[in-house]
């Protein structure tokens, strides 16, 4: 019996992507059926951010979930795999690993078919269509991984594909014919590597797919770099990732509210240079350490983030230019030395530390906690925030997500050097543990940090009787630098400390004229009140 070729073409400019998604492919411009093939257009959109009327967005999601034939895959993903299937797949994967260059893709797919790991349709055309689409997606996975099919992620990818093809695809299409409408799929929120490739496979098969992320995190772009399989629809506004709606929201925006929101959007556009308070609360902070002279420190320390060089908004991140400097030794101009330090401390957004070690320590083994937060070899920000050891649950949700994001970055791209006989994993585990114990006064500093406004500061002074900074202290400094905090460390003796533990070129060292070993910290001098203020004070006292 001759099989029919099934072809789907991405519709790149749908007149209304949401309505087009709900329509049958038979109603679209491209739909052709002959004896030899079926051709139709499909809808695949990555919906980033939210519209001005946020309630409408979540109501649309809820309404989609009520449509028959629309599958909210992110909410119903079935991770079960039969024991026999798992054992058969393990055998194939072991053989793949033992083969010098791994099994060829065609051989892999053929073996999987032989063990019935890829579900079979009653319709021969649907059967062949699934086989060819699976091969293309495995090829794309191979081409996008540095180690190809020998990467560690391939095992998880293949196991997940088998699970979801059996638990979802075949259940949706068991009785389908090539001329029937293909399934419609919605994904909401974050994705793992396997989930991204499964969504890609559904697109290859001809499904209509919508991927929503209210915070405009575009993870699917990692597998679709050139928008070959999907297009993007971006809203200007963003909001935090919330649970998928289980009911309609009944708030209705007034005309005045809509107008004010539209004005805010125009006035406070990301590139306008005019930012309203807390405009970027839903964004992730990313620091950029400025290269500067000693004098520059005291110029830029007084500047808000948005007027510092290289401040910008990129995607869902705010790039915050920061100071990270060690002042080694003491200036000949002693009064100016203290005056500059006291100016840094004068800001209410400053924490001053002169007793060390400062950071908390713990002998607890965080191996289990760290492993629990890994998804496909990467730290999951969602799992970090939802862990039972998470100590920041009282903070605003946006700040919790920003802290988790910075923990992930700090561990995956360490600023600290590895110690002798310390593996990369041990270093990551150490950094992970330290970032779970941020001091309370530092948390208060982060809570009041509006990313485009005044940059919080940590000023440290190494007194003559104080121990050296601990490695735990320096791990905290590295985390705060990543988050976007200014750090100025005064060390009058000029001894090595940061240099021992931090990667070269991650901070500035400014060497002043004299190395002094007995310089006690000098408190700020009380300024004399002006005569008119004294008279006013006396007047208020008597009258």
Beta carbons within 8 Å of 388's beta carbon, 6+ residues apart: none
Q: In which element (H, E) is residue 314 found?
A: strand 312-314
**Beta strand segments in 27-77, E:** 31-33, 37-42, 44-48, 70-72
Q: Are strands 37-42 and 31-33 parallel, antiparallel or unpaired?
A: antiparallel
Tokens 């110690």 locate to: 419
- Report helix, strand or coil for 418: coil
Neighbour-count burial for 397-433, b at 16+ CB within 10 Å, e otherwise: ebbbbbbbbbbbbbbeebbbeeeeeeeeeebbbbbbb
Q: Is 378 left (phi over 0), alpha (psi -120 to 50) or beta?
A: beta
C-alpha–C-alpha distance, residues 193 and 106, integer Å: 22
Question: Which two structure tokens, joined as six digits, stand for 64?
Answer: 């989609």
The pair of structure tokens assigned to 196 is 């991204």
Per-residue pLDDT for the chain (543 aa), expressed as one digit of tens each? 578 999 999 998 887 899 999 999 999 889 999 999 999 999 999 999 999 888 889 999 999 999 988 999 999 999 999 999 999 999 999 999 899 888 999 999 999 989 999 999 989 999 999 999 999 999 999 999 888 898 888 999 999 999 999 999 999 999 999 999 999 999 999 999 999 999 999 999 999 999 999 999 999 999 998 899 999 999 988 888 999 999 888 655 444 545 555 545 544 455 555 688 888 998 999 999 999 999 999 999 999 999 999 899 888 899 999 999 999 999 999 999 999 999 999 989 999 999 999 999 988 899 999 999 998 888 999 999 999 899 999 999 999 999 999 999 999 999 999 999 999 999 999 999 999 999 999 999 999 999 999 999 999 999 988 999 999 999 999 999 999 999 999 999 999 999 999 998 899 999 999 999 999 999 987 755 455 555 555 555 544
Q: How far is CA 480 from CA 292, 378, 419, 447, in A?
A: 19, 21, 21, 13
Phi and psi dihedrals of 459, rounded to 5?
-110, 130
Residue keyed to tokens 């790991």: 117
- The arrangement of strands across the sheet holding 324-328 comes to 350-353, 457-461, 486-491, 324-328, 508-511
Q: Strand pairing partners for 48?
A: 213, 234
Rounded distance, CA 487 to CA 239, Å? 30
Buried b (16+ CB within 10 A) or exposed e, 276-288: eeebbbbbbbbbe
Alpha helices in 268-414 (DSSP H): 294-300, 334-346, 367-372, 381-386, 397-412
Question: For residue 305, which of 485, 500, 103, 60 has the smallest C-alpha distance?
Answer: 485
> What token pair was written down for 209?
């797919």
* Cβ atoms of residues 260 and 293 within 8 Å: no
Which tokens in the block code for residue 299? 């110029």
Q: Is the pTM of this model over 0.85?
A: no
């Amino acid at each position: 019996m001759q099989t029919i070729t099934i072809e789907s073409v991405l519709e790149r400019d749908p007149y209304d992507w949401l309505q087009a998604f709900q329509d049958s492919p038979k109603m679209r411009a491209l739909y052709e059926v002959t004896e030899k093939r079926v051709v139709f257009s499909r809808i695949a959109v990555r919906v980033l951010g939210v519209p001005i009327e946020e309630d409408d967005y979540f109501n649309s999601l809820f309404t989609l979930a009520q449509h028959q034939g629309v599958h909210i895959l992110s909410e119903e993903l079935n991770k079960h795999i039969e024991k026999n299937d798992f054992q058969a797949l393990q055998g194939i994967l072991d053989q793949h690993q033992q083969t010098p260059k791994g099994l060829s893709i065609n051989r892999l797919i053929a073996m999987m078919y032989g063990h019935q790991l890829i579900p079979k349709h009653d319709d021969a055309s649907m059967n062949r269509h699934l086989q060819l689409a699976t091969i293309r997606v495995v090829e794309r996975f191979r081409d996008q991984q540095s180690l190809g099919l020998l990467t560690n992620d391939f095992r998880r990818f293949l196991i997940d594909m088998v699970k979801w093809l059996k638990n979802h695809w075949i259940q949706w299409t068991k009785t389908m014919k090539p001329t029937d409408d293909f399934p419609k799929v919605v994904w909401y929120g974050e994705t793992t590597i396997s989930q991204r490739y499964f969504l890609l496979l559904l697109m290859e098969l001809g499904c209509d797919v919508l991927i929503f992320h209210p915070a405009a995190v575009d993870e699917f772009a990692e597998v679709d770099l050139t928008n070959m399989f999907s297009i993007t629809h971006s809203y200007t506004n963003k909001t935090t990732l919330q649970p998928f709606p289980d009911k309609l929201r009944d708030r209705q925006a007034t005309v005045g509210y809509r107008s004010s929101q539209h004005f805010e959007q125009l006035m406070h556009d990301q590139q306008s240079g005019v930012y309203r308070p807390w405009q970027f609360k839903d964004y992730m902070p990313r620091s950029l350490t400025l290269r500067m002279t000693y004098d520059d420190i005291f110029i830029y320390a007084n500047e808000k983030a948005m007027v510092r060089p290289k401040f910008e908004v990129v995607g869902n991140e705010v790039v915050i230019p920061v100071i990270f400097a060690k002042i080694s030794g003491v200036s000949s101009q002693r009064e100016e030395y203290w005056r500059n330090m006291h100016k840094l401390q004068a800001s209410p957004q400053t924490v001053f530390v002169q007793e060390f070690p400062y950071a908390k320590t713990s002998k607890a083994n965080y191996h289990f906690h760290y492993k629990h937060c890994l998804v496909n070899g990467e730290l999951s920000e969602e799992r970090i925030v939802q862990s039972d050891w998470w100590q920041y649950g009282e903070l605003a949700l946006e700040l919790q997500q920003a802290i988790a994001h910075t923990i992930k970055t700090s561990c995956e791209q360490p600023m600290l050097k590895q110690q002798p006989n310390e593996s990369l994993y041990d270093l990551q585990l150490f950094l992970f543990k330290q970032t779970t114990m941020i001091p309370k006064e530092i948390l208060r500093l982060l809570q009041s940090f509006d990313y485009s406004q005044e940059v919080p500061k940590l000023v440290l002074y190494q007194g003559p009787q104080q121990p050296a900074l601990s490695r735990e202290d320096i791990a905290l400094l590295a985390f705060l630098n990543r988050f976007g905090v200014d750090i100025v460390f005064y060390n009058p003796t000029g001894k090595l400390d940061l240099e021992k533990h931090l990667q070269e070129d991650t901070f500035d060292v400014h060497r002043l004229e004299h190395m002094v070993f007995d310089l006690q910290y000098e408190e700020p001098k009380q300024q004399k009140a002006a005569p008119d203020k004294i008279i006013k004070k006396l007047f208020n006292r008597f009258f």
